[in-house]
Amino acid sequence: MRTRLTEAFGIKHPVLCAPMALITGGRLAAAVSDAGGLGVVGGGYAGTLGGEPDLQQELVHVQGRKFGVGFITWALERAPHLLDQVLAHSPDCVFLSFGDARQFAPQIRRGGAKLICQVQSLSHVDQAIEAGADVIVAQGTEAGGHGARRSTMPFVPEVADYLARKSPATLLLAAGGIADGRGLAAALMLGADGVVVGTRFWASAEALTPTLVTDRAQHFTGDDTVRTTAIDALRGVPWPDEFSFRFINNKLASEWAHREAEAKAEFGSLAVAYADARSRQDFDVVAVVAGECIGLIHDRPNAATILDAMVKQAQALLDRGSRLDFTDGAA
Amino acid sequence: MRTRLTEAFGIKHPVLCAPMALITGGRLAAAVSDAGGLGVVGGGYAGTLGGEPDLQQELVHVQGRKFGVGFITWALERAPHLLDQVLAHSPDCVFLSFGDARQFAPQIRRGGAKLICQVQSLSHVDQAIEAGADVIVAQGTEAGGHGARRSTMPFVPEVADYLARKSPATLLLAAGGIADGRGLAAALMLGADGVVVGTRFWASAEALTPTLVTDRAQHFTGDDTVRTTAIDALRGVPWPDEFSFRFINNKLASEWAHREAEAKAEFGSLAVAYADARSRQDFDVVAVVAGECIGLIHDRPNAATILDAMVKQAQALLDRGSRLDFTDGAA
């Protein structure tokens, strides 16, 4: 399966592993790259959150492979020295999301890495183009973790049309709600050059996700996730207003998810309680991060198995689609 | 393009026109059916809202054609006599959304019509199966008008998997975010037997949509819509809590969209002001209903042109997809 993405990065499959904070360590990124995709290590909050894995240590695992590193842009602003440390490892790309990438773009280019900018609304695209993004990721609201309000299905073609007019050489990836070959094939039909996969790799053998968590999550459906700004406010993580957090609904979220304004007024009031709950692994309080496609995930295989199955299923669907005959029932 | 849907209904294209309240009159439904899809007249609130078009008159336009009629289920409960009146016209299907279809299913079956149940969460599917639905529509949150919180991209395959286990003979359609051939092709890849298209037909020549409204809407992007329960509460339309309303953001919504609990406590407080604003065509107050794919829509052609372009684009994409080579850039 060849796309502009596979050509640009010299990879076999048009699939990136999302740089999930605290989840996509070097082992997962390496496994995805070894299997023919591109693994992007989660640089997350750039060490400013506390409790994050040591990025330098994680990068040891991807040595000698193609790989990328991703950051939460507004957090990287607080620890900008980290970018040079990362560029010293010669990543193939730096993946920035949630903020203005323009300030970091020249440094990334000088470091020889491609710039990937993830956007959550059409209004973000101009800034990404100005930054000189090689790749723009259109992330839908169904994604796990942080994101915003647009949905993948209409958002991807709208960004594709916009890029066709304004910056046709910029590649486009789809993120949010993609967990198998159906999602990959659908994203290609929508106009994407490839996909970014989070939750499916979150439940892979090589992810840093605690087993306790993925064991619990296998019984959930996509109905069980919630997106809200309230929990970040209560735990005192200073996310910009436009970005919200999707995770598996729990006791704390049932109480607060729809009271975003109130939670904002009580910024940080549960910071200590939340940290304490984390140490006790109290999932009535602590958010288990997952996207809506958690309902498509019922196991924790290794990343190569996931990627192989995804690509084979997409190929079979695309092959069948060309016959324009779906009368034996859908996939 | 043949699918289980085209076979079951004896139609040429796997595309239904959504039964949009106050929008999908008989002329639009007839035009979609004449063009090879299936037009579903919007029975909406079953005459209980006020200001709705006369359903009997609308049904004159679909005489001699394949057609369906759709209702808001909880509203039909308040005017159940309407169902017999509709069945007397021998519709090919009755399309029920937002409520428990089981109470109406035997009557619909006796009337010789197929039952289509639209669902907004996985938790609704069992009820639809129990009702004996011939077709289930998985409606994503990106849809215009009323809906809920699941997104089309991960929701459709999850419902497909569920039906494969529980009721494999039930057909599945995708709704929400589908405005062109990219959306149609993507939906087929996700496991749907066809699609339900609302907003794209809302901006068709034959729709009941006022020209004033579609003229305004052509400048909006998908970023400009909002989903909230607040406006229904303020205008005093008794929607069940789980269903919210997507429309183009305006002055009233900017003020209220994120204050759903407050709006609920003031149920009906703006009913008079809202009706007055409607008579003045004051769009700072009155919601212009549209889905996120409004950003893909820039004209108001007739329904046949829309359907023809949609199917041709999907066929071209599927044909190209089978070559597994997208290196000349995406769609």
Query: For B41-71, what is each residue's pLDDT tens digit?
Result: 999 999 998 889 999 999 999 999 999 999 9
pLDDT at B328 exceeding the cut of 80: no
* CATH topology classification for B14-209+299-322: TIM Barrel (3.20.20)
Task: Say if strands B325-326 and A2-3 run parallel, antiparallel, or are unpaired.
Answer: parallel
Q: How many CA atoms lie within 13 A of B132 on its CB side?
A: 13
Q: B132-169 b/e with 16+ CB inside 10 Å = b? A: bbbbbbbbbbbbbbbbbbbbbbbbbbbbbbbbeeebee
> Distances from the Cα of B73 to the Cαs of A20, A65, A141, B103, in angstroms?
41, 56, 28, 10
Return d(Cα B117, Cα B125) in angstroms, integer.
Answer: 9
Identity of residue A288 = V
Contact A163, A125 (CB under 8 A): yes
Residue of B197, B296, B326, B327 for testing the chain A interface, max A β-carbons within 10 Å: B326
Of A199-203, B107-111, B259-263, which range is least confident? B259-263
pLDDT band at residue A328 under the 50/70/90 scheme: confident
> Does A315 sit within 8 Å of B158, measured CB to CB?
no
> Does A152 sit within 8 Å of B153, measured CB to CB?
yes
Phi first, then psi, for residue A69 (nearest 5°) are -135, 135
Contact A194, A16 (CB under 8 A): yes
pLDDT at A122 exceeding the cut of 60: yes
At B329 the pLDDT is 67
Can you tell me the mean pLDDT for B288-317?
A: 97
pLDDT band at residue B323 under the 50/70/90 scheme: confident
pTM of the model: 0.97
**Does an H or E element contain A246, and which?**
strand A244-248
Contacts of B223 in chain A (CB under 8 A): 121-123, 150
Residue of B151, B228, B327 for testing the chain A interface, max A β-carbons within 10 Å: B151
At B330 the pLDDT is 53
In angstroms, how far apart are the furthest CA atoms of chain A? 59
Q: Which long-range contacts (CB under 8 A, 24 or more apart) does A125-128 make?
A: A125/A159, A125/A162, A125/A163, A125/A166, A126/A166, A127/A100, A127/A101, A127/A102, A128/A101, A128/A170
Residues 6+ apart with CB under 8 A from B93: B9, B38, B40, B68, B69, B113, B114, B115, B116, B134, B135
Å between A178 CA and nearest CA of chain B: 7
Can you tell me the mean pLDDT for B216-244?
A: 95
In angstroms, how far apart are the furthest CA atoms of chain B? 59
Of A62-66, A155-159, B218-222, which range is least confident? B218-222
Identity of residue A143 = A
Can you tell me the mean pLDDT for A11-32?
A: 98
Contact A61, A25 (CB under 8 A): yes
pLDDT at B331 exceeding the cut of 70: no
Return d(Cα B148, Cα A225) in angstroms, integer.
Answer: 13
Return d(Cα B15, Cα B37) in angstroms, integer.
Answer: 5
Residue-range domain boundaries for chain A: 14-209+299-322, 221-280
Contacts of A172 in chain B (CB under 8 A): 330
Of residues B186, B315, B327, nearest to A190 (C-beta): B186
Residue of A127, A153, A320 for testing the chain B interface, max B β-carbons within 10 Å: A153
Q: What is the 3-state secondary structure (H, E, C) of B79-114?
A: CCHHHHHHHCCCCCEEEEECCCHHHCHHHHHHCCCE
Q: A290-307 b/e with 16+ CB inside 10 Å = b? A: bbbbbbbbeebeebbebb
Query: For A132-167, what is each residue's pLDDT tens digit?
Result: 999 999 999 999 999 999 999 999 999 999 999 999
A76: which 2 tokens? 């990287």
Contacts of B322 in chain A (CB under 8 A): 318-319, 321-322
Return d(Cα A132, Cα A125) in angstroms, integer.
Answer: 11
Can you tell me the mean pLDDT for A257-264?
A: 90
Can you tell me the mean pLDDT for B82-100?
A: 97
Q: DSSP string of B283-311? A: TTTS-----GGGGG------HHHHHHHHH
The C-alpha angle with vertex B176 and arms to B171 and B181, in degrees rounded to 5, equals: 80
The pLDDT > 70 percentage for chain A reads 99
A33: which 2 tokens? 């790259």
At A325 the pLDDT is 86
Contacts of A296 in chain B (CB under 8 A): 154, 157-158, 161
pLDDT at A77 exceeding the cut of 60: yes
Of residues A153, A168, A180, nearest to B152 (C-beta): A153
SS3 assignment, position B116: strand
Mutual angle of helices A26-34 and A303-321, in 10-degree steps: 40
Tokens 């092709």 correspond to B185
Q: Is A278 exposed, middle or buried (0-12, 13-18, 19+ CB in 10 A)?
A: middle
**Radius of gyration in angstroms for the set of CA atoms belonging to chain A, rounded to a whole number:** 19
Of residues A140, A150, A186, nearest to B223 (C-beta): A150
Tokens 């598996």 correspond to A248
* ipTM for the assembly: 0.97
Mean pLDDT of chain B: 96
Of residues A14, A292, A330, nearest to B172 (C-beta): A330
Mean pLDDT of chain A: 96
At A261 the pLDDT is 87
Residues 6+ apart with CB under 8 A from B222: A122, A150, A154, A155, A158, B292, B293, B294, B295, B296
Can you tell me the mean pLDDT for B238-256?
A: 97
Closest residue of chain B to A320, computed from CA coordinates: B322
Contact B304, B269 (CB under 8 A): no
Of residues B6, B158, B193, nearest to A330 (C-beta): B193
Closest residue of chain A to B319, computed from CA coordinates: A322
- From the list A32, A199, A33, the residue with the least C-alpha distance to B153 is A199
Can you tell me the mean pLDDT for B255-283?
A: 94
At A330 the pLDDT is 53
Query: For B99-133, what is each residue's pLDDT tens digit?
Result: 999 999 999 999 999 999 999 999 999 999 999 99
Task: Say if strands A15-17 and B2-3 run parallel, antiparallel, or are unpaired.
Answer: unpaired
Closest residue of chain A to B6, computed from CA coordinates: A327
Of residues A4, A189, A223, nearest to B327 (C-beta): A4
Can you tell me the mean pLDDT for A116-137?
A: 98
